[in-house]
Structure 1
């Protein structure tokens, strides 16, 4: 069975991917301060850290972790926040708080840098978003995705379930604190076993709010590595191969001859899923 080699250099580059974000308050919520939080962040972090790099969010991070920072900043500016059920939108479309930030950006189709989004503290869209977007809820969703990935990869969740509470907490804390080595000290146990591999933890996102596709995809075909193009042709034969669409992950267009096992091993998000966005190709 062909087995992809883990590439620490590629994995670290994926982990270190950052996205500058400009966050504005919804002007209809009548806050006393309505300037974009991008400006506030510039002032705040220039004062406290002497570096504007802190304005950038990790692509693998989650919006509830950003909310935690925002509340700290607003409290320092004496801005009263009545409702702590914080949510965000991009061009009017609510952003799923349990998706990684980089995935949300790529799904939005935006090319803006910084990414301009709006934060809300009222009128939570229950019909479009999961409720209770707290840091604790984000952590629970993150661990649930890791269990799903474990089950798809090996047919059991025992690797995640057998982690100590300390190690399970370390996975999330290292992500929230942007500590690559601490994350991989634990995660390598979940993905390093190449015996008995079953299916690729893969999710595919189409344009126009189509349902997420999560189908069973084996790592190999008759002992050889499956290529990404073959996988997409099986799942989306009307789009691949053609000039109609391209696969994106972490803002990168993936060649169709990329081995799917290599992509899964090296390009997955911190939840161990390979998240692929299918974009309309620009002719």
Structure 2
């Protein structure tokens, strides 16, 4: 039992401390010299949100902007012309768009979380920051005070809480100090602040786990060449009620859940054939117990955000 707890703790720590090196450049259309400015380089947590970088990017690139008085609220980030959503954690965005090959478990049975040194593909991940032509049809516009980013995050936490417990009372019953600590832990990426609040949310006294908060993200191909630019990088997000156990009382595994939700892609509950689930940069074995995966490897908003990567 102690060994199992140690393994869980180690994995939670690895998930929390996972990071991705970023190289962020100013879009040429916003640069007063119509040329590339110096790049902003940072090692950024996988579990954090790009919106937290906007004040730093605004300050860093202010001397290079065509319109130096432009507000930070005009800023947005893209990868290969795809606007990056504020409420998606960096790790999910990277797994969806970077094209990096996921890490595979050495023995094929246990999740192998990517550390910075183990990331595959081209690093640093090269992004572009824009200060004009805001894609309002794709992104919520952030405010200077960070209230919208806070609301986007808390809404995800509330929905995850409702799915886990059948009620939103757990998150709603947090006192003001705990609620503030949760948000501060995310902004500061401080595990010592986050862990005690997360334990209250994941393991409320007297409440049994009802459902597994899980979202699946699939690439969505354009229906025609005319639509290609409009839907570049678009996704199909699939969500369903996932019980922690099967009717046979056997634990729900990732494979049994995926076979039920996306049977055409996951025809086998044990072996990936057409598609591979990816979480935190790692290919997750289909035999993984979903409840254990939730408690050890959920994102900070309480969700298992799983990218579906096509094989072959």
Q: Provide TM-score, normalisation by structure 2.
A: 0.79
SS at match of 2:184: helix
Over aligned residues, Cα RMSD in angstroms?
2.0
Q: 2:304 aligns with which of 260, 274, 281?
A: 274
Q: 1:248 aligns with which of 264, 275, 278?
A: 278
8 Å contact kept, 1:67–1:86: yes
Q: 2:244 aligns with which of 188, 196, 219?
A: 219
1:128 equivalent in structure 2 = 138
8 Å contact kept, 1:24–1:34: yes
Q: 2:159 aligns with which of 148, 160, 168?
A: 148
1:7 matched to 2:8: yes
8 Å contact kept, 2:158–2:171: yes
1:51 equivalent in structure 2 = none
By how many angstroms is 1:219 displaced? 0.6
Unaligned runs of 5+ in 2: 101-121, 221-233
Q: 1:71 aligns with which of 58, 83, 106?
A: 58
1:34 matched to 2:36: yes
1:260 matched to 2:259: no
By how many angstroms is 1:244 displaced? 1.2
Distance 1:81 1:218, change over 3 A: farther
Q: 2:76 aligns with which of 83, 87, 91?
A: 87
2:235 equivalent in structure 1 = 210
User: What is the alpha-carbon distance in structure 2 between the residues aligned to residue 108 and residue 211 of structure 1?
Assistant: 13
Distance 1:62 1:81, change over 3 A: farther
8 Å contact kept, 1:18–1:57: yes
1:47 equivalent in structure 2 = none
8 Å contact kept, 2:219–2:236: no
User: What is the alpha-carbon distance in structure 1 between the residues aligned to residue 98 and residue 36 of structure 2?
Assistant: 26
8 Å contact kept, 1:86–1:133: no
By how many angstroms is 1:177 displaced? 1.1
Distance 1:133 1:95, change over 3 A: farther
8 Å contact kept, 1:97–1:133: no
SS at match of 2:235: coil
8 Å contact kept, 2:254–2:288: yes
Q: Provide TM-score, normalisation by structure 1.
A: 0.87
8 Å contact kept, 2:159–2:168: yes
User: What is the alpha-carbon distance in structure 1 between the residues aligned to residue 235 and residue 37 of structure 2?
Assistant: 34
User: What is the alpha-carbon distance in structure 2 between the residues aligned to residue 132 and residue 174 of structure 1?
Assistant: 20
Distance 1:232 1:133, change over 3 A: farther
Q: 2:168 aligns with which of 140, 153, 157?
A: 157
Unaligned runs of 5+ in 1: 42-54
1:182 matched to 2:193: yes
User: What is the alpha-carbon distance in structure 1 between the residues aligned to residue 143 and residue 164 of structure 2?
Assistant: 28
Distance 1:31 1:185, change over 3 A: farther
User: What is the alpha-carbon distance in structure 1 between the residues aligned to residue 176 and residue 39 of structure 2?
Assistant: 36
2:93 equivalent in structure 1 = 104
Distance 1:70 1:109, change over 3 A: closer
SS at match of 2:135: coil
